[in-house]
Homo-oligomer: A and B are copies of this chain.
Amino acid sequence: MPKLGMEPIRRAALVEATIAELGAAGTLDITVSQIAKRAGMSSALAHHYFGGKEDIFAAAMQHILSELRQEGLDQLTRARHPIDRVRAIIEASFSPSSFDPDTINAWMLFYLMARTSPKAARLLRLYQSRLRTHLRHALRPISARPEADAETLAALIDGLYLRASLGRTGSAGEARAHANAVLEALLETST
């Protein structure tokens, strides 16, 4: 019994399943069958809705990044004070939904994928430049070196993610604290 409008549902299910599987496996070496099974369909159907494995991965990546970004924007728009805008970005980076183990694992995996898949590289680059832009804009009124400080904070956030993905620094709280501490320090020095 063919159903109508199944496409978006199936695609969403596959994207979610991909992230979950990636997170659970900790490797990019997961099979299309595993993903399809977790999404409750045959691997053939997965191929039908996406062109191939790479496309599935790309969609999952896009999903993660856009969620990160969205979370950031929501908080950004609510921030009034300049420094609160920076804090909002940090906050978003370590929000429960962003700092979920599976997500963070998948994020790191995509970082890797970006080195081989142009599609993935483009997405990642886009996300990163957006993050940097936001940080720069927010830092301009309050930092003497907005450019450099933005870069520094971005790298720090990535590093904290990386360590979290290995299971080192446990809580999102600690990670957030580190990021805020550096923010404070950089701004104090700035003045």
Contact = CB atoms under 8 A, between A and B. Distances in A.
Interface of A: 25-29, 105, 108-109, 111-112, 114-116, 121, 124, 128, 148, 151-152, 154-160, 162-163, 165-166, 168-169, 177-178, 181-182, 184-186, 188-189
26 contacts: A27-B28, A27-B112, A28-B29, A28-B112, A29-B29, A109-B112, A111-B166, A121-B166, A128-B168, A151-B169, A151-B178, A152-B182, A155-B156, A155-B160, A155-B169, A155-B178, A156-B156, A157-B159, A158-B158, A158-B162, A159-B162, A162-B162, A185-B185, A185-B186, A188-B189, A189-B189
A152 B158 contact: no
Contacts of A184: 189
A186 B178 contact: no
A156 to B, nearest CB: 5
B166 A114 contact: yes
Contacts of A178: 148, 151-152, 155
